[in-house]
Structure 1
Amino acid sequence: MKILVLNGSPRPNGSTKQMVTAFEEGATGAGHKVDVIDVCKKRISGCLACEYCHMKGHGTCVQKDDMQEIYVLLKEADMIVLASPIYYHGLSGQLKCVIDRFYSAAYPQKPPHLKKVAMILSSGDANMYDGALFSFKGDFLDYLGLEDMGVFTAHGMENGAEKQKDELKKFGASLK
Structure 2
Amino acid sequence: MKAVILNGSPRPNGNTVKMANAFTAAAAETGHQVTRFDVCRMNIRGCLACEYCHGKGNGECVQKDDMDKIYAALEDAEMLILASPIYYHGISGQLKCAVDRFYAALYPKAPESLKYISMFLASGDKDQYTGARFSFDGDFLGYLDLEDKGFFTSAGEVTEETLNEIRNMAKAL
Instruction: Report TM bin, short chain.
Output: over 0.9
The aligned residue for residue 100 of structure 1 is 100
- Paired residues for 1:32-71 under 5 Å: 32-71=32-71
Q: CA deviation at 1:108?
A: 4.3
Select which of 138, 158, 161 maps to 1:160.
158
Q: Is the 8 A contact 1:109 1:144 kept in 2?
A: no
Output the amino acid matched with 1:67.
Answer: M
Q: Is the 8 A contact 2:2 2:32 kept in 1?
A: yes
Question: Quick one: distance in 2 between partners of 1:121 and 1:80?
Answer: 14
Q: Is the 8 A contact 1:6 1:83 kept in 2?
A: yes
Q: CA deviation at 1:161?
A: 2.5
Output the amino acid matched with 2:87.
Answer: Y
Question: Quick one: distance in 2 between partners of 1:83 and 1:41?
Answer: 14
The aligned residue for residue 10 of structure 2 is 10
Output the amino acid matched with 1:101.
Answer: R
Local SS of the residue matching 1:76 = coil
- Show CA shifts across 1:120-148 (max 9, x none): 01011110000000000111000001011
Q: Is the 8 A contact 2:149 2:169 kept in 1?
A: no
Output the amino acid matched with 2:162.
Answer: Q
Q: CA deviation at 1:48?
A: 0.3
Off by >4 Å, runs of 4+ in structure 1:
none
- Show CA shifts across 1:28-63 (max 9, x none): 111101001111010000000001111111110000
Q: Is the 8 A contact 2:2 2:78 kept in 1?
A: yes
Q: CA deviation at 1:5?
A: 0.6
Local SS of the residue matching 1:65 = coil
Output the amino acid matched with 1:174.
Answer: A
Paired-residue identity, %: 57
- TM-score scaled by structure 2? 0.97
The aligned residue for residue 26 of structure 1 is 26
Output the amino acid matched with 2:38.
Answer: D
The aligned residue for residue 173 of structure 1 is 171
Q: Is the 8 A contact 2:7 2:17 kept in 1?
A: yes
Q: Which segments of 5 or more consecutive residues in structure 1 lack a partner in the other structure? A: none
Output the amino acid matched with 1:123.
Answer: S
Q: Which segments of 5 or more consecutive residues in structure 2 lack a partner in the other structure? A: none
Output the amino acid matched with 1:85.
Answer: P
